[in-house]
Structure 1
Amino acid sequence: MAKYLILIYGDEQRWDAESEQERHEKGEGHRAFSAAATVLAGHELEPSTTATTLRGGPMITDGPFLEAKEALGGFYVIDAADLDAAIAAASMLPELASGHGGVEIRPIVDHDRPDHG
């Protein structure tokens, strides 16, 4: 088994405009995902306007690291047999059907594996 970080991106203005019914349906989608995947951790994030960024020096700025149309809205850490299994699990996330979101899947380095020193 390997660990994967699933990052959920979308348009914050569209998230803010969701109806109560849309939020409920999205919540049901996340509950179905959590029941099907081996979720080790996961959280919805506060809006990107609450972010604080540190840059070399350090210089402290308000807001996210990058200015982009899509913002990071939440994440999961899952255990999956391989990347194909992680993709299959992540494809259940309701943000993929929203028309404005996306999901990034990143393997987590396992320092306990012999090939990762």
Structure 2
Amino acid sequence: MKYLLVLNINPDVLAALSEAEQQAIGAGHGKFMETIKASGEFHSTVALKLPDQSAVVKVRNGVPAVTDGPFVESKEFLGGYYLIEAATPERAYELAAMIPDAGIEGLGVEVRPVEFSDGL
């Protein structure tokens, strides 16, 4: 089964980390990718730009309107994800725990089973 490991980022939490801690996060993501590629559980990953570079499109009465993002006013935002293939939910949780963000107070990794996918 496919699982989406969602990385919700809080910029205040990241800004409070030392440069060495921030670099360790990047290195940890690299190690995580090596692990899931070697095990055959890797499917894909995406890292997103900051919300100030996003836009929201809404159609009202047939007229599209584009506004600055993000859609929700929040301290946290979607920073990226990993799409994995895991045999069980427990294995998906185990893999999510390997992502550096899971070990940082104020951050976490959301694990969501994929209901449907196409073209993946």
- TM range, normalised to the smaller chain? 0.7 to 0.9
Aligned counterpart, 2:49: 46
Aligned counterpart, 2:32: 33
Aligned counterpart, 1:11: 10
Q: Which moved more, 1:29-38 or 1:2-11?
A: 29-38
Query: In structure 2, do the counterparts of structure 1 residues 43 and 16 end up closer, same or farther at CA, with 3 Å as the change threshold?
Result: farther
User: Could you list the per-position Cα deviations for residues 44-71 of structure 1 after superposition, in whole angstroms to 9, with x for gaps in the alignment?
Assistant: 2111111111234233221112111211
CA RMSD of aligned residues (A): 2.0
- DSSP 3-state at the match of 1:96: helix
Following superposition, the deviation at residue 111 of structure 1 comes to: 6.2
Aligned residues: 111
1:65 to 57, 71, 77: 71
Unaligned runs of 5+ in 2: none
Following superposition, the deviation at residue 110 of structure 1 comes to: 3.7
Name the amino acid aligned to 1:14: V
Instruction: State whether residues 12 and 47 of structure 1, in contact with CA within 8 Å, keep that contact through their aligned partners in structure 2.
Output: no
Name the amino acid aligned to 2:13: R
Unaligned runs of 5+ in 1: 113-117
